[in-house]
Chains A and B, each alone.
Chain A
């Protein structure tokens, strides 16, 4: 599989579609998690912690203003592999977009299409929502 950077959300959706059973999808999700770029150690701060997840999650974001339209680049990591897989999907879905574009994303629709949420426990779903909320808050602050 290519590195995370080269992947689009459509690639991921197609990947999930292609895989028949739960176990294969699960492995695919774990593989996505393994592609996360290295998370800077000094960004593992209390401020960067996303609360509401069962496992620990850190999220760290930067504005990029080198283009005409500023974009947000964020990175996250967890101590749980499954969560890293979810982070990989969120990074593919949200990263390097303008705040307005980020806010326009219907992540629920994407996750529905991936047919993933039904396999996540309600508490894990809450964690996913907490991460999305953090990303959206970032976008709102810069919108």
Chain B
């Protein structure tokens, strides 16, 4: 993974006004104010290229895949399978067969937990899960632990919201079967040292699942370089449609895994006596898949790749630096999550003002942010707070939008004083 740091200076800068022009949703007024969309960790807006791709699919070649022997079915199947190749390239996966389309990151993790976990976990086995994980990378492990007698063990985080590698190393032992960790925290912005974590896990004989939901929109994710076993992400956070995501899996692991759900598509042969299953990835894609979603996701990945993560990382780091300084200047504001390596996510609290009291004021100022525990309750418990307000940025955000957030926060303060 390219860590958001020290990019070569000769990269031409990102032209933010130009890229904003690609996102029709950004040009709206809400409550009669220009929309300032700072809720990208929840979901991203969609470029025209993705909207057009979806429109084109439904207008011209909507058909079920892998089934009909007619022209439209052929076009749809080709586009769907080509989307798989696009995802494989996006992740630098050796083979498109290692990409399973899912509903999203959550389903991808559940698939691994149920299928790989169900087949491989025994009583006493340990699953290491970091304290900063999204609930979708905690609960599936708890569910399978309950079924198999394995144990979920927490990798703690420090006051800045970081994993200490020595602490992590000390937790790895011969009972550790799997490590589940996020590449980037959605509530703290922390970029984790996942390459090193994977190396250490492998040395201890454990496999690793990386949650790349928050990494995929912001940095190059290279499964080959990482040498990761499983990696999951959601389309909608990376400028694609909702309801589609992908799981990357190491070939040997996927091949050995039992089916997750049963149905059409995933079989080789069905009789009432015995059913044999198709090879991966088809084995894990029961039923009619989200064809439009997969094709739309490919369009989104092509779109970000064309902009280039070198430019995106450089630009978002500028936003991170600008935003950190601007927010720290707001009296009474505390940033939650101050890791050394961070994505442009600002989680914060304001002295004496409940986070839920801020959201209607910010909303009325046209600012879209999220208030809550961000599906990371263990993180809130760690910092002993009920919730944070979170502004999560994307490459289409501007310093002026950070200024708008800051002045809206001044308004919050004056209203609640």
A positions within 8 Å CB-CB of B: 22-23, 26-27, 30, 54-56, 79-83, 119-121, 124
Is A81 within 8 A of B360, CB to CB? no
Is B360 within 8 A of A79, CB to CB? no
Q: Does B387 contact A (CB under 8 A)?
A: yes
Interface of B is mostly: helix
Interface of A is mostly: helix
A112 to B364, alpha carbons, bound, how many Å? 19
Is A81 within 8 A of B364, CB to CB? no
Q: Does B356 contact A (CB under 8 A)?
A: yes
A27 to B387, alpha carbons, bound, how many Å? 23
Is B416 within 8 A of A80, CB to CB? no
Shortest CB–CB separation between residue B31 and chain A, in angstroms? Answer: 8
Q: Does B415 contact A (CB under 8 A)?
A: yes
A26 cross-chain contacts in B, Cβ below 8 A = 360-361, 415
Mask, B94-106, CB within 8 Å of A = 1, is: 0000000000000
Interface size class of B (residues with CB under 8 A): 10 to 19
A27-B415, A120-B360 given as contacts; is B387 within 8 A of A54 (CB)? Answer: yes
A22-B364, A56-B386 given as contacts; is B415 within 8 A of A82 (CB)? Answer: no
Is B360 within 8 A of A121, CB to CB? yes
Mask, B350-377, CB within 8 Å of A = 1, is: 0001101101110110000001100000
A-facing residues in B25-40 (Cβ within 8 Å): 31
Is B359 within 8 A of A121, CB to CB? yes
A121 to B359, alpha carbons, bound, how many Å? 9
Is A54 within 8 A of B415, CB to CB? no
Q: Which residue of A lies closest to B359 (CB)?
A: A121
Q: Which residue of B lies closest to A119 (CB)?
A: B360
Residue in B356, B360, B363 with the greatest tally of chain A CB atoms within 10 Å: B356
Is B386 within 8 A of A79, CB to CB? yes
Is B415 within 8 A of A23, CB to CB? yes
Shortest CB–CB separation between residue A39 and chain B, in angstroms? Answer: 16
B415 cross-chain contacts in A, Cβ below 8 A = 23, 26-27, 30
Interchain residue pairs with CB less than 8 A apart (13)? A22-B31, A23-B364, A23-B415, A26-B415, A27-B415, A30-B415, A30-B416, A54-B356, A79-B354, A80-B357, A81-B357, A82-B360, A83-B356
